[in-house]
Structure formats: C-alpha cells, structure tokens
Amino acid sequence: MAKHRYSSFIPIKLDDRTWPNKTMTKAPQWCSVDLRDGNQALIDPMDVPRKLAMFSLLIKMGYKEIEVGFPSASQTDFDFVRKIIEDRLIPDDVTIQVLTQARDTLIRRTYESLVGAKSAVVHLYNSTSTLQRRVVFGQDKEGIKKIAV
C-alpha cells in the first residue's frame, strides 16, 4: 500500500513516554475484511462469482492479507475458499484469512476449507459480550469459557 497517501501527524515529544514517541516509517500491513464482514452487512450477500471479482480487485489494489470468509458458517464462503485454493487464484505473496468460532466442529470445518492453501490465518474467536452470552448462547461467563476449552 502507498504510505505517501497518508501524511503523518505533527509529533509531540514528551520525555516521560517511550513507545508513543515512535513514528511509523511505512504503511501498516492492512487486511481487507470486505469479503467477510463487509459481505455479511449486505442485504443481498455476494455469491461465489461476485466474491471472485471482489477478490481480484483487492489483489489489484495491493492487499497482501485478505479475509476471505467464514467457511464454517456459510456454504457460499466454504465454496469460495475451496475455489480460490483449488484454482490457484491466491498469489504467492498474499495470505488469506478466515474466521471461525471457538467450537470444535466449526474449527474442523474451517480447516477442511483450507486444505491445500499455501498459508492462511485462522482468526479464532469466542464471543464474550453480555448480549451474545445471554441471547445467542444462553450461557453465563463460565459456560462461554467451557465452549472455548
């Protein structure tokens, strides 16, 4: 990504700080989540061909990390991940990322989607918000911990 597009702020040096005084000298590593988080926000989520077009665009834009879906929660996402792996559409310098909940069956399904990938990041999460615990899982804090262990 082009760091010249983002100008730095004027630094304020204070003697009693250490890491805040450091300035970025290059753009951070950006990970696009448009194919997963952006897709779930759409009224009409993307199908595999539309996801392929978006994936190609993200690659052309220079992204090196792309979150490609939630394959254990969506058959379309699973099929898309398989397609880009089987058709070798992932450039060597691009790492895909997938999202999954900390549940044994979902983790297994996620790894099934990644068979053959040269490299991938598995973003494992366990929802801890009060609303999620109560409404989605019907669990207290201890119950949520047991799901993850």
Check which CATH number belongs to the domain holding 92 and give it: 3.20.20.70
Total domains in the fold of the chain: 1
What is the pTM (predicted TM-score) of this model?
A: 0.79
Q: pLDDT of 54-100, one tens digit each?
A: 999 999 999 999 999 999 999 999 999 999 999 999 999 999 999 99
The answer as to whether 11 is a domain residue is no
Helix (H, G, I), strand (E, B) or coil at 137: helix
Report, as an integer, the average pLDDT of 116-136: 90
Residue 141 lies in a domain: yes
The CB density around residue 25, as the number of other CB atoms within 10 Å, is 7
Answer yes or no: is 111 within a domain. yes
Which position has the higher pLDDT, 82 or 142? 82
Confidence (pLDDT) at 1: 56
Residue 117 sits in which domain range?
A: 28-148
